[in-house]
Structure 1
Amino acid sequence: MQTDSQSSSIQISHLSADVGLQEVLDEYKISLRRRCECVTEGSDETGSGTLLNRIYTELYITEGQIEEVNTQHEVRQLETVSKMKTLHDTPIKVHDIFKALPDQQRHVRVVLTNGVAGAGKTFSVQKFSLDWAEGLENQDVSVLVVLLFRELNLIKDEHYSLLTLLHVFHPTLQKVTAEQLAACKPLFIFDGLDESRRSLDFNNSEVVSDVTQTSSVDLLLTNLIKGNLLPSALVWITSRPAAANQIPPTCVDRVTEVRGFTDAQKEEYFRRRKKNKYDGGHETELTEADTEVLVKLGRLAFEHLAGEAGV
């Protein structure tokens, strides 16, 4: 039986741990904000850092995806998109992708976001992360961890625990303990599934359920997505359409699709981007990045016009 003094000691210990964790997370948010607040335009040599919030424009994201999208080449998809039926056409804001719609009661734990190259998937991840780090959105999430598949490719045959993996890619979180990670509500964002060279075998029955348990990175990822590892964690995966079928539908609670800009969003994007050039004192000549954006927006405009014409 605990005495009053023992009970008080336990409470003080828990309070100190919470304070220590909060200090770590505050430092991490500062680090994440610095990482996400700027984007680079142009080539690495001549590009200039631009504040994301100055040029970011809300993208047109819908719940559901276009049928047969996983089996088609992306260029062909743009040409035939108007002929395909959509499963849903419900717009959803990037900050709300883990929130159930008014007519839905289900819990959304795993979200898979599709989009063709250049549609804005990574920018959406960056904006989501920045707003969390600045304390503006999704503050029910304790810690937000972004992991790029192209970085995970660098890990060959080494075995890690999820906690160690977290420490390796985000050194600011090295003081987070296994107990703290298991008790909080983390969000793991895996960006660029189409760039993955990992073998995600969801039929493998080996279970990893402890954040300190060492295994292959592939097993860590599949167990995290399946909910065996950190069942309280939210998981967001982005991918080009052709690679999205690597994740079984039974493991996904919501599929969203980044479909580019609506006409109003295109106008807002260009208004923010040319304004940015004048305010920043840059030359008004089109950079390589500008040209690339124009080409991509031209494709989206073609898709829109084809849809109206019923091609």
Structure 2
Amino acid sequence: MKLLRVGEKGSEKPAILDGDGVVRDLSGVVTDIGGETLTPEGLARIRATDVGVLPKIEGTPRIGPCVANVGKFICVGLNYADHAAETGAKIPDEPILFMKATSAIIGPNDDVIIPRNSIKPDWEVELGVVIGREARYVEQTQALEHVAGYCVVNDLSERHFQTERGGQWVKGKSADTFGPIGPWLVTRDEIADPQDLSMWLEVDGHRYQDGTTRTMVFGVAHLVSYISQFMSLQPGDIITTGTPPGVGMGIKPEPVWLKPGNVMRLGIDGLGEQRQNVRAWQG
């Protein structure tokens, strides 16, 4: 299933994409796409619905974030061997974890705002893993059973804030609009192997990132199991799993940073595409 949320910010309603690509209203079946809806029982309720009789959502409404009320937005750093190489970093012995503020979350096609005092804003196409069942001290062999589905994430970063202002990476990752997710959540049963997905990102039509989840250092099952050793994972939590090479900071001979007027497009096989206009902060 491809689940999404449509409508103006703060007023999104749950929807599903039918087999013909028509958006259908799910608000008569579930209250939203998040929390209880993402549990095995909640997804079973949607699967039992005759999607063909649900009301069509006409026109081209805004697509909101594909998950509502995200509890934790957990990020994994340097998780692609080829990305670590382009940055000159050592491949980590264990996953590098950090958090991204949930207030950064926006829809997949909403504008991205470069924050005040930004010097080095950057892009990162990533595979997002959406939790559907509570995970606590989960073994790797059972880890994927706790996944509701997957989505595209643009893990936008301000590298100056992240690496040159001291402290943890979170302040370089958490500006408002720095977390587009969607367009939809694709349930786990539709993705045969999360470690075999092509992914890409373009800025103004130039393809900078063209990678695959095959080069992840730590795969999805490993990450879910590993993170569950340190904190419980709850339905609706998102793990964004790292980026392949081609980020702005890694461009040679000189880095390339986002600037107002840029247009980003990015996507992952089977999970859809995002498109964001980049604007300057006003205020």
Q: Which range, TM-score by smaller chain? A: under 0.3
TM-score (structure 1 length as normaliser) = 0.23
| Structure with the higher strand share, 1 or 2 | 2
User: Greater CA radius of gyration, 1 or 2?
Assistant: 1
TM-score (structure 2 length as normaliser) = 0.25
